[in-house]
């Protein structure tokens, strides 16, 4: 187990809409619990009361007029509060933080799909204070399949970003691929087109390797 002197471990999970994040997150949480680790699960946008209110604005289909710059800044504002109020305190206590999305989502969605480019990273350096995950699990699934899954999901209402056309989601996907290529030390690319158990076998191997560095 980690000693109290060590900082915690920060793990993010990323992917295009419909890539199976929710299913794999539950399996990850079960696995980390079985290892007797102190885990904090959170999400973006969200994770704190202020950030959750920003999430409502960002994802509501009622706000279709939102411009790209507003979208970027709202995500960064939610992230700044999230990092300082929830993630950093948990890491300081030596906990494992698992986040459904983090900075890579902004790079993919606002940087690539919205065309805002490098300014997204600049703004988010302020929001994160330079914090990045120790491990990012990228569930790699072509967006056409992901959107198909979302549309047939029971009791699911498509949010503002999910309602974007396929070309938007293709750009998001390219953003993720580029990030994975640029950050191989951190991003583990997982074939998310396989069965749930086969996908988790890949995820577990990545977790094992990451946790071994902390003698967990």
State residue 4's pLDDT score: 38
Predicted pLDDT of residue 76: 98
Gap between the Cα atoms of 216 and 209, Å rounded: 10
- Using alpha carbons, select from 32, 31, 30, 59 the residue that is nearest to residue 43: 59
Q: What residue segments make up the domains of the chain, in order of their start?
A: 9-212
What pLDDT shows up at residue 131? Answer: 97
Fold adopted by 9-212: Rossmann fold (3.40.50)
In this prediction, residue 149 carries a pLDDT of: 85
Question: What pLDDT, on a 0 to 100 scale, did the predictor assign at position 160?
Answer: 94
Under DSSP, the state recorded for 95 is P
CA 162 to chain CA mean position, Å: 15
Name 128's Cβ contacts closer than 8 Å, sequence gap at least 6.
79, 80, 83, 103
pLDDT at residue 28 in the model: 98
Q: State residue 3's pLDDT score.
A: 34
Residue 27's pLDDT is 98
Q: What is the mean pLDDT of each run of 10 residues along the chain (216 residues)?
A: 61 94 97 96 98 97 96 98 98 97 98 98 97 98 88 81 93 97 97 96 97 80
Return the pLDDT at 201. 98
């Amino acid at each position: 187990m980690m000693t109290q002197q060590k900082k915690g471990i920060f793990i993010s999970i990323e992917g295009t809409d419909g890539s199976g994040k929710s299913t794999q997150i539950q399996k990850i949480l079960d696995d980390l619990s079985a290892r007797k680790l102190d885990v904090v699960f959170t999400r973006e946008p969200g994770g704190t009361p202020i950030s959750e209110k920003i999430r409502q604005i960002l994802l509501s289909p009622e706000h279709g007029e939102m411009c790209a710059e507003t979208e970027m800044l709202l995500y960064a504002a939610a992230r700044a509060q999230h990092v300082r109020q929830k993630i950093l305190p948990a890491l300081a206590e030596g906990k494992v933080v698992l986040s459904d999305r983090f900075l890579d989502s902004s790079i993919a969605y606002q940087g690539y799909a919205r065309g805002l480019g490098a300014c997204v990273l600049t703004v988010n350096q302020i929001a994160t204070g330079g914090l990045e995950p120790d491990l990012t699990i990228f569930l790699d699934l072509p967006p056409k399949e992901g959107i198909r899954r979302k549309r047939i999901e029971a009791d699911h209402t498509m949010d503002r970003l999910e309602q974007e056309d396929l070309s938007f989601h293709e750009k998001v996907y390219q953003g993720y691929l580029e990030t994975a290529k640029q950050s191989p030390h951190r991003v583990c690319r997982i074939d998310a087109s396989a069965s749930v158990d086969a996908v988790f076998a890949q995820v577990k191997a990545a977790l094992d390797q990451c946790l071994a560095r902390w003698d967990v």
